[in-house]
Amino acid sequence: MKAHIRPLLRLAALPLSLLALAAAAQAGNPAPGWNEAVNGDLSGNNLLPTFVTLASGQTTVSGLTGRAVPGGPVDRDYFTITVPAGFVLSSLTVLPGTEVLVEVGFIGMMSGSSFTVPPDAQSAAGMLGFRLYSENDIGNDILEPMGLFPELGASGFSTPLPAGSYSFWVQETGVGVARYGFGFGVTPVPEPATALTLLAGLGLLAGALRRR
């Protein structure tokens, strides 16, 4: 009887295997997330963003951005995340500690592993969306509004976003160096029908075994 049950139990364990796979898929295995204070400055090259490994649940990316002196070089930060198959990007939360100086902070988002819209672009064409964030956004999920209200030619999107690579551009637009932190929420694709079917299958099997 055990031999009959085992394959089904294997199926039941599938969601857990997917989580394990996602963890293992962080190839090269740097710790998930990025903290510039520990991991170094994120790429300033829009075509070669830093790859940031995701964890299931929330992954934090934090750092500094801006222009230390008027007319000086701007520290723009570019990074790419890859949402593995079986998962979705469900939230983008502005974390406590995020600062905005005189002006506003900017976070832009594109599909793919490079940010092909250049820093001097005059529109957001090619982007999925962007947000001019402020300290009022701290604690809020800004992913949905980024998709719902596309501006300046961005395409917009609906949440959650499917598996795939997404690149981000973060920049304080005023003079000064500002701290930021964003939390990327990655959750399994909700599949209630599959889970219910599986439970029903297990129930039928248990019934059949009892009758035997």
Which of 66/160 has CB closer to Ca ion? 66
Which of 34, 49, 75, 93 contacts Ca ion by CB under 5 A?
Answer: 75
Contact at 8 Å (CB) between 52 and 78?
no
Q: How many residues bind Ca ion (CB under 5 A)?
A: 5
> Of the listed pieces 16-24, 62-70, 81-89, 159-167, which binds Ca ion according to CB under 5 A?
62-70
Which of 41/135 has CB closer to Ca ion? 41
The dihedral sign for the CA sequence 165, 14, 199, 91: negative
- In angstroms, the CA 207 to CA 212 distance is 9
Q: Does 68 bind Ca ion (CB under 5 A)?
A: no
Q: Are β-strands 57-67 and 34-35 bridged in parallel, bridged antiparallel, or unpaired? A: parallel
Residues 40-59 interacting with Ca ion (rule: CB under 5 A): 41
Of 49, 82, 80, 57, the closest CA to residue 164 belongs to 82
Smallest separation, CB 57 to Ca ion (Å): 24
Which of 63/160 has CB closer to Ca ion? 63
Which of 41/191 has CB closer to Ca ion? 41
Which of 77, 99, 137, 172 contacts Ca ion by CB under 5 A?
Answer: 77
Q: What are the distances in angstroms from CA 95 to CA 58, 133, 134?
A: 11, 11, 11
The dihedral sign for the CA sequence 146, 148, 150, 156: positive
Write out the residues near Ca ion by the rule CB under 5 A. Answer: 41, 63-64, 75, 77
